[in-house]
Homo-oligomer: A and B are copies of this chain.
Amino acid sequence: MIKLLEVKKIFKETDQYLDQTVKIGGWIRTSRTSKTFGFIELNDGSYYKNIQIVLEDQLENFDEISKLPISSAIIVEGKLVATPEAKQPFEIKATHIEVEGPSTPDYPLQKKRHSFEFLRSIAHLRPRSNTFSAVFRVRSIAAYAIHKFFQERGFVYVHTPIITGSDCEGAGAMFRVSTLDFNNIPKDEEGRVDVSKDFFGKETNLTVSGQLNVESYCMAFRNVYTFGPTFRAENSNTARHAAEFWMIEPEIAFADLEDNMELAEEMMKFIIQYVMENAPEEMEFFNTFIDTGLFDRLNNVLNSEFGRVSYTEAIEILKNSKESFEYPVEWGCDLQTEHERYLTEKVFKKPVFVTNYPKDIKAFYMRLNDDQKTVAAMDLLVPGVGEIIGGSQREERMDVLERRMEEMELHKDDYWWYLELRKYGGTRHAGYGLGFERAIMYLTGMGNIRDVISFPRTVKTAEF
């Protein structure tokens, strides 16, 4: 039984501990020692900042401690003293130090700067570095902010299934899930894979979205959300794509596209505010070392009313701009990141919702507008990134929904339960998806999705 004080407490409630004996445990981040005294920067994981330990040669095991390699774990007892003339506000004068777990000199995370690429190869150690300790604490705090936002507003959190028996949404390539023996795939009499022999008795895949499932809960609880992993088996080796990522999908009943946009705006502001308040040291680090425009960008989001522009207007703006785009702009085409960024960075200079996209480039479940050409979709574009949220009002009219499914050659039988939601008291409803990793990249300025996921899964990579 080891009762240790958290370093965060010492920083936050310093007065309570000054001139007292304290006992802490942590890992050595740096160590500078001479023959008679030394300084150790210790990090205990509870706080972004290190605490300085002063050793003197009265310490019984001074020699042993002063030779400990970086990342060794020690337990320190000593007096907390103020150091008004030094850089750090206080330090611990060690009276007793125990070695909890030594490290070795070949510890790969030495003090020098490492490339993010190298650090990915030691994903089990990188959270011990300044950058990744900041990234993953912010990730944790942002996840909590999202739950807090929705729970405080009475939303019900729904765990939609990860393994899905239906390829409903067609949102992307899927991973197959199976217990069949790959050396000996059972076949039926006609030589087709005999899926009845598989674990679930049918073909199953990893989900690409919980939306269709969560809509059924929306029709019971009114306001609901998912927050879980989703998957794409796409061969996209970019800085923004991972095969496994987490997504937040709220769904609201008795609500239209306008309500949806209001919710998304309120949520984005809440997350930013919460993270700024609850991880100030980490955010300061990002603003100083990763993206010097970060605070300006986030404050701009907090302080602006998000813009609104229809897709049709946006196309006009883009066509009339003097900008030369790699991809030409024409009504009916999907917007590329360059277009999105131009709109949000150059035209609106703040986050902007683009609404009412052509139906042919959007999913079957989006509500058809009266013009019969566009659907009540919305994408939220933010400076520095482009699209961060995609959503829509859903088609609640059974006949229109069925017609859209026929147009898109979907099998209505596969969607029997989804259609029934319209038959038994369907209401106007809307929702959106926020890619959690994209949000973390946006909040931190980190440029590669691999650097905001603990153990990233991408094409040809599933280490650890």
Task: Pick the contact of A161: B163, B185, B455 (CB < 8 A).
Answer: B455
Is A101 an interface position by the 8 A CB rule? yes
- Chain B residues near A167 (CB-CB < 8 A): none
What chain B residues lie within 8 Å of A179 (beta carbons)? 173, 175-176, 233
| CB closest chain-B residue, reference A152 | B144
Q: A44-B222, A426-B101 are in contact. Are A124 and B177 (CB under 8 A)?
A: no
Chain B contacts for A457, CB-based, 8 A: 161, 163, 200
B128/A219 in contact, CB under 8 A: yes
Q: Among B44, B125, B216, which residue has its beta carbon within 8 angstroms of that of A420?
A: B125
Q: How many residues in A have their beta carbons less than 8 Å from beta carbons of B?
A: 113
Q: Does A159 contact B454, Cβ atoms closer than 8 Å?
A: yes
The answer to whether A103 and B423 touch across the interface, beta carbons within 8 angstroms, is yes
Residue A89 at the chain B interface, CB threshold 8 Å = no
- Does A118 reach chain B (CB closer than 8 Å)? no
Residue of B nearest to A416 (CB): B124
Check if A58 is an interface residue, CB within 8 A of chain B.
no
Q: Which residues of the partner chain B approach A216 to less than 8 Å between Cβ atoms? A: 123-125, 127, 464
A221 and chain B: residue at smallest CB distance: B45
B462 and A200: CB pair below 8 A? yes
Cβ of A28 within 8 Å of any chain B Cβ, yes or no, is: yes
CA distance A425 to B220 in the complex (A): 51
The B-contacting residues of A in range 412-464, CB under 8 angstroms, are 417-418, 420-428, 453-455, 457, 459-464
Residue of B nearest to A161 (CB): B455
**Residue pair A243, B163 in contact (C-beta under 8 Å):** yes
Task: Contact check, A25 vs B423: say whether CB atoms are below 8 A apart.
Answer: no
Complex Cα gap A27–B228 (Å): 28
Residues of B contacting A418 in the complex (Cβ-Cβ under 8 angstroms): 124
Q: Mark A88-111, 1 if CB is under 8 A from B, else 0.
A: 000000000000111110010000
Asked whether A327 is an interface residue with its Cβ less than 8 Å from the other chain, the reply is no
Chain B: CB-nearest residue to A202: B462
Residue from B75, B459, B464 in contact with A199 in the complex, judged by beta carbons closer than 8 Å:
B459
Of residues A137, A423, A424, which shows the largest number of chain B Cβ atoms within 10 Å of its Cβ? A424
A253 to B25, CA, bound (A): 9
Q: Which residues of B contact A66 (CB under 8 A)?
A: none
A199–B175 CB distance below 8 A: yes
Q: Please determine whether A199 and B233 come into contact, CB atoms closer than 8 angstroms.
A: yes
Q: Is the CB of B420 within 8 A of A154?
A: no
A238 within 8 A of B: no
Complex CA–CA separation, A1 to B259 (angstroms): 6
Contact of A102 among B175, B204, B425 (CB under 8 A): B425
B256→A154 contact, CB < 8 A: no
Contacting pair A124 B420 (CB below 8 A): yes
In the complex, residue of chain B having the shortest beta-carbon distance to the beta carbon of A185: B182
The yes or no answer to A329 lying at the interface (CB within 8 A) is: no
Give the distance to chain B from A122, nearest Cβ to Cβ, in Å.
8
A209 at interface by CB-CB < 8 Å: no
Candidates B199, B255, B424; contact of A71 at CB < 8 Å: B424
Which A residues contact B (CB, under 8 angstroms)? 1-2, 4, 6, 8, 25-28, 44-46, 71-73, 75, 100-104, 107, 122-125, 127-128, 132-133, 136-137, 139-141, 143-144, 147, 151, 154-166, 173, 175-180, 182-183, 185, 192-193, 199-202, 204, 206, 213, 216-217, 219-223, 228-229, 231, 233, 243-244, 246, 253-256, 258-259, 396, 417-418, 420-428, 453-455, 457, 459-464
Beyond A136-B220, A161-B244, A175-B199, list 11 extra A-B contacts (CB 8 Å): A27-B219, A45-B223, A75-B254, A101-B426, A140-B151, A143-B157, A163-B231, A163-B243, A163-B457, A175-B179, A229-B229
